[in-house]
């Protein structure tokens, strides 16, 4: 495939767009035309982000009032917002708070069109600058905080964990009926493989001689397929034909009602050990058993440690079968699940207070005080 792009013009682009030294070898070492194209798109992505950050910082500088504003807080992704905050904080002498709702240079998936070593090199470069200037670096999981501390040991005391959390609005009342329902709400991404859960559930169906009136697995959201294969086909191949229902995206209220009638809510496996799916913070508010397919040392595993949730290593079909079987038997015997949300760790209010207290301390230390 010919792209019309050569390394020499890309080097010129690098100089004009960034006006600084970058590692030319990361472009020159491209082995294929696809590598060159991805490197080019990575370069353009950061060039556009850098220009936006400079414009945003200039606007922020015009809006900041010393008697009113005591800190500059940025949240990402998109993570080039942190570059804007860093520049504005430097210009106005205010503490800079870098709130990372997902990893930046440690991210494990990026869009294919700029999936290049150059993208990760640039991410690391801008991340390093932001961390160096930040009064607080907030990461959204404990494993994420640990890897950031390992990479930036001088910033260790400034890196804290501020998770996402569950809200406090009332949930619909539970609607548990005779049928044991395993529910999944959200999207099935490239790494959310449901097949092993289907395999374990099929074993339980056979062992307990369950009919579709007794047991079912229901999906709603962007859940039609895993990869290129429909979820209904995967279920049939694992022996669950007639037991699995695949719905579409619905309004938020309907999602809450769906969760309220599920006896068990499942979080499918993911390939990012540093992240926690947002759905878990919704699940903990429901009267349902929570089944998380994750390793104990992952962010999900650590979050749910000691909570009463069932955390099962994704490839352990025997353990998965045992958990589903035990919960189905309990349900048939009249036992009903309770909520996990009583644990303060899962509260968005608790997490927000942690961040606000840290910002107040950083502002006080810098001498910035509102009138």
Residues 143 and 201 in one domain: no
List, for residues 224-269, the tens digit of each pLDDT value.
998 889 999 999 999 999 999 999 888 988 999 999 999 999 999 9
Alpha carbons within 13 angstroms on the beta-carbon side of residue 283 total 30
Over 60: is that where the pLDDT of 173 sits?
A: yes
List, for residues 37-71, the tens digit of each pLDDT value.
888 899 999 999 999 999 999 999 999 987 889 99
**pTM, whole model, 2 decimals?**
0.81
Q: Are strands 225-226 and 229-230 parallel, antiparallel or unpaired?
A: antiparallel
Residues 100 and 156 in one domain: yes
Domain membership of residue 58 (yes or no) is yes
CATH number at residue 211: 3.40.50.2000
Predicted local distance difference test score (pLDDT) of residue 31: 67
Phi, psi of 268 (to 5 degrees): -70, 160
Measure the CA–CA gap between 188 and 171, rounded to whole angstroms.
Answer: 24
Domain membership of residue 9 (yes or no) is no
Number of domains forming the structure of the chain: 2
Among candidate residues 130, 161, 192, the one where a domain is terminated: 161
Residues 136 and 209 in one domain: no
Domain membership of residue 187 (yes or no) is yes
List, for residues 121-168, the tens digit of each pLDDT value.
999 999 999 999 999 999 999 999 999 999 999 999 999 999 999 888
Domain membership of residue 321 (yes or no) is yes
Residues 76 and 212 in one domain: no
Domain membership of residue 157 (yes or no) is yes
Residues 190 and 331 in one domain: yes
Residues 262 and 127 in one domain: no
Range of the structural domain that residue 218 is part of: 180-345
Domain membership of residue 35 (yes or no) is no
Residues 240 and 145 in one domain: no
Predicted local distance difference test score (pLDDT) of residue 30: 54
Percentage of the residues of the chain whose pLDDT score is greater than 90: 68
Domain membership of residue 41 (yes or no) is no
Residues 154 and 184 in one domain: no
Among candidate residues 161, 191, 215, the one where a domain is terminated: 161
Residues 157 and 223 in one domain: no
Residues 201 and 336 in one domain: yes
Residues 192 and 330 in one domain: yes
Measure the CA–CA gap between 191 and 221, rounded to whole angstroms.
Answer: 16
Residues 94 and 222 in one domain: no
Average pLDDT over the chain, rounded to an integer: 88
């Amino acid at each position: 495939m010919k792209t019309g792009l050569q390394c020499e013009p890309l080097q010129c682009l690098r100089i004009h767009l960034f006006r600084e030294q970058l590692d030319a070898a990361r472009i020159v070492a491209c082995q294929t035309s696809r590598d060159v194209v991805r490197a080019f798109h990575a370069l353009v992505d950061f060039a556009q982000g850098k220009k936006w950050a400079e414009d945003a910082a200039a606007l922020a500088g015009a809006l900041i009032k010393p008697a009113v504003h005591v800190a500059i807080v940025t949240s990402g992704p998109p993570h080039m917002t942190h570059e804007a905050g860093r520049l504005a904080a430097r210009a106005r002498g205010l503490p800079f708070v870098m709130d990372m709702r997902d990893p930046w240079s440690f991210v494990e998936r990026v869009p294919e069109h700029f999936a290049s070593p150059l993208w990760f090199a640039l991410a690391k470069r801008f991340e390093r600058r932001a961390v160096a200037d930040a009064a607080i670096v907030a990461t959204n999981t404990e494993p994420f905080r640990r890897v950031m501390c390992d990479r930036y040991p001088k910033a260790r005391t400034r890196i804290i964990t501020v998770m996402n959390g569950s809200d406090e609005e009332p949930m619909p009342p539970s609607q548990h009926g005779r049928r044991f329902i395993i529910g999944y709400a959200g999207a099935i991404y490239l790494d959310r493989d449901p097949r092993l859960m289907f395999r374990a559930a099929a074993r339980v169906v056979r062992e307990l001689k369950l009919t579709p009136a007794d047991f079912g697995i229901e999906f709603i959201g962007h859940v039609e397929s895993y990869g290129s294969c429909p979820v209904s086909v995967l279920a049939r191949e694992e022996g669950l034909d007639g037991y699995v229902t695949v719905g579409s995206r619905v309004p938020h209220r309907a999602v809450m009602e769906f969760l309220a009638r599920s006896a068990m809510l499942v979080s499918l496996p993911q390939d990012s050990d540093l992240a926690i799916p947002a759905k878990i913070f919704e699940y903990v508010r429901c009267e349902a058993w929570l089944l998380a397919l994750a390793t104990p040392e992952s962010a999900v595993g650590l979050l749910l440690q000691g909570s009463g949730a069932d955390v099962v290593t994704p490839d352990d079909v025997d353990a998965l079968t045992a958990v589903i079987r035990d919960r189905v038997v309990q349900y048939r015997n009249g036992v009903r699940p309770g909520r996990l949300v009583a644990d303060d760790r899962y509260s968005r209010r608790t997490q927000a207070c942690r961040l606000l207290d840290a910002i107040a301390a950083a502002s006080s230390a810098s001498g910035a005080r509102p009138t």
